[in-house]
Structures are given as structure tokens and as C-alpha cells.
């Protein structure tokens, strides 16, 4: 199976390393912002070439699937190029910074194209266990968190390039909420600029914010985030039910029932699993095991985009997903 890679950053390298451990899979092309970056990655593979133009890469190298691992502001053109050529693709979140993902999702639906999106929390054993447990419980509310530091890449702190923390980073928690609890009906957001605009030159993203979400099933959720801290502090989702609390964290699931606390440690690598499932779907044509395809991920994107709009307008946004 021949794979193309758009992007040469951390995520592209991580996925390429995983692909290198899978029998019968070969990365044959890298596309980067410079030929030097693309060829540097291509040299790690025996038959790979470097490119700076997506269309040229797709037309010169025959590929069974392509990975898109690029910053939020450059999405769109490359997805459309892949849809036109009917090439299955895996894309890292977020899907963009504007409304275009909804239009792209419709085109993918029309073509019946296999896609997968890098919402890797869905592939954690802890998340799937929580989903199973929630089928037997009724949830009342949820609290989500992404409390940490600011990534020091210039595009991330520019609101016109990253879309801000809630859209670019906390989207993982929004997607986890949707995965375990269901779709979102309405959002109301409040953001502010407290510290980072004065501390880090070029910062235009808000550095603190909270979003209230009302789900279709009546659940009320609040997801808060900040990037003012010197290091990561708290990331996860807490679910409050009539039987107690489920606390989902990066590496464990904690079940709290009064004085009784049970912990389930994460045993698998969700990045490996999401890659394996995607490639198997491309090989067999059966995408039923993919937990986050582009159409579903576009719904998560709409929630985060609505939160940004709500914070700007100072009013709630009704989604009707």
C-alpha cells in the first residue's frame, strides 16, 4: 500500500513512523512548504520523493491513500484535490478555521470516499469503556478541561491562522463529549485576553475561556480552557451521572461511586489503532470501524466554530446537529 504525506511537522513524522512499522505499507511521497523539508523526510524511505505542490505530488505518484498533517489555515485546497481524484485520506484535526469543512463533508458524502480524522481520544480504551458504561447510566452534566501552556509555534498564537485554543486544541474534548454523550444543540461562550497578549509578542488568541453546551439529550456541559500556565495541568472530561462520576483523562478512566474509586489504565496506543483501522478500511473498502470520519468530525468543527462566534457576538448559537 503506497501512502503520501502532506506536511513535514511533528504529526506527519509520528504517523510516518507508525506506518513504517506496518507490513506492506510504504510512504512514497512527502509534500512540504520547502523542497528541503520534503526531501529530508523522503530520504528516510527507499522509494519516496519530495514535493512542494500537492497537485504535482498526486499526479506524479500513484497513491492508495494520503495523510494531511498541516496547520489549520491551509486546509481546503488539498482535501478538494484528493476528493477530485477519489483518493482516501486521513486528516489531522482541526479541519480548518472557517465554514469550508461543511462543504467538503458534502462532497465526500457524494463520492462515498473513505476518510478518517485524527480525533485519537475516541480510540483510547478508556474512552470506549466510558461509552459502554454510559449506555447503562443517565448523565446530568459534564465538565471538560484543557488547562495548559501555549504552544510556541507562531501560527498557533495568531487567531487568523489557528482559530484559537478552543477550535485548535480543546476540540479534542468537544469531540470526546460528542462521542460519549451525543450531539450538541446550543453553545454559549465567553473568552478573554488576560496574560499572553502582553507576555508573548504577536498573540491574538484569547488565553482563557469557558463554553456552556446544551446537548440534544438535555445534558449541560461546560468546557473551559487556558494557555496561560507554564506547563500542562489538567486535560480531560468528567461525567456526572446518577451512579457517580466518570473521570476521563489522557491515560486513565476513574470511576467514583461514593467512597469507592476504580481506575482503568490506558493499555493501548490510540495513534497506532487509528492508523491501523484507517488503512484496513482503505484496503477492504469497509469503513465501519473508523470512529471519526470527515463527516462526523465536521460536526465537532461546527461546535467549536459556533463557540468562537458566540464569544464574539456575546450571544448563544443554536446548532441543531
pLDDT in tens, 32-68: 999 999 999 999 999 999 999 999 999 999 999 999 9
* DSSP letter, residue 315: S
Q: Which regions of the chain carry the CATH code 3.40.50.720?
A: 2-120+272-291
pLDDT at 228: 98
CA distances from residue 11 to 15, 32, 88, 93, 173 in whole angstroms, order as listed: 6, 13, 18, 10, 19
- Residue 122: predicted pLDDT: 98
- For the domain spanning 121-268+301-318, the CATH number is 3.30.360.10
Is the pLDDT score of 203 beyond 80? yes
Q: Where along the chain do the CATH 3.30.360.10 domains lie?
A: 121-268+301-318
DSSP 72: G
> Tens digit of pLDDT for each residue in 244-273?
999 999 999 999 999 999 999 999 999 999
| CATH architecture, domain 2-120+272-291 | 3-Layer(aba) Sandwich (3.40)
Distance CA 256, CA 239 (A): 10
pLDDT, position 152:
87
pLDDT in tens, 8-27: 999 999 999 999 999 999 99
Predicted local confidence at residue 51, as pLDDT: 98
Q: Strands of 139-147's sheet, edge to edge?
A: 260-265, 252-257, 244-249, 234-241, 139-147, 220-226, 208-215, 184-192, 317-318
Whole-number pLDDT of residue 131: 98
Q: What is the pLDDT of residue 112?
A: 97
pTM for this prediction: 0.97
Strand ranges inside the chain, DSSP E: 2-6, 26-31, 49-51, 65-68, 89-91, 115-117, 139-147, 184-192, 208-215, 220-226, 234-241, 244-249, 252-257, 260-265, 317-318
pLDDT of 320 > 90? The answer is no
Query: Do 156 and 150 touch, CB atoms closer than 8 A?
Result: yes
pLDDT of residue 57: 98
Strands 26-31 and 49-51: parallel
**Averaged over 120-149, what is the pLDDT?**
97
Average pLDDT value over all residues in the chain: 97
Q: Give yes or no for residue 193 having a pLDDT over 90.
A: yes
Q: Three cell numbers at 98?
A: 472557517
Amino acid at each position: 500500500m503506497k501512502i503520501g504525506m502532506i506536511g513535514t511537522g511533528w504529526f506527519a513524522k509520528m504517523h510516518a513512523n507508525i506506518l513504517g512499522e506496518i507490513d506492506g505499507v510504504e510512504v512514497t511521497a512527502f509534500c512540504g512548504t520547502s523542497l528541503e523539508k520534503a526531501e529530508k523526510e523522503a530520504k528516510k524511505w527507499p522509494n519516496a520523493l519530495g514535493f512542494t505542490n500537492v497537485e504535482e505530488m498526486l499526479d506524479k505518484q500513484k497513491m492508495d491513500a494520503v495523510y494531511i498533517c498541516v496547520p489549520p489555515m491551509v486546509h481546503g485546497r488539498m482535501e478538494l484535490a484528493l476528493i477530485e481524484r477519489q483518493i482516501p485520506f486521513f486528516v489531522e484535526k482541526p479541519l480548518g478555521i472557517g465554514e469550508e469543512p461543511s462543504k467538503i463533508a458534502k462532497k465526500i458524502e457524494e463520492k462515498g470516499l473513505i476518510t478518517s480524522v485524527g480525533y485519537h481520544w475516541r480510540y483510547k480504551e478508556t474512552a470506549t469503556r466510558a461509552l459502554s458504561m454510559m449506555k447503562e447510566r443517565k448523565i446530568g452534566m459534564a465538565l471538560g478541561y484543557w488547562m495548559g501552556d501555549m504552544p510556541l509555534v507562531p501560527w498557533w498564537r495568531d487567531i487568523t491562522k489557528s482559530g484559537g485554543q478552543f477550535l485548535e486544541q480543546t476540540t479534542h474534548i468537544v469531540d470526546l463529549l460528542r462521542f460519549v454523550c451525543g450531539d450538541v444543540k446550543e453553545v454559549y461562550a465567553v473568552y478573554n485576553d488576560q496574560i499572553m497578549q502582553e507576555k508573548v509578542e504577536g498573540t491574538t488568541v484569547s488565553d482563557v475561556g469557558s463554553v456552556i453546551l446544551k446537548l440534544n439529550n438535555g445534558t449541560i456541559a461546560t468546557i473551559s480552557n487556558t494557555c496561560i500556565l507554564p506547563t500542562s495541568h489538567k486535560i480531560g472530561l468528567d461525567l456526572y451521572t446518577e451512579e457517580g462520576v466518570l473521570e476521563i483523562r489522557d491515560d486513565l478512566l476513574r470511576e467514583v461511586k461514593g467512597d469507592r474509586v476504580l481506575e482503568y489504565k490506558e493499555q493501548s496506543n490510540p495513534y497506532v489503532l487509528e492508523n491501523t483501522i484507517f488503512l484496513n478500511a482503505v484496503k477492504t473498502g469497509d469503513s465501519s470501524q473508523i470512529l471519526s470520519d470527515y463527516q462526523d468530525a465536521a460536526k465537532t468543527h461546527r461546535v467549536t466554530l459556533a463557540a468562537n462566534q458566540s464569544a464574539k457576538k456575546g450571544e448563544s448559537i443554536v446548532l441543531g446537529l
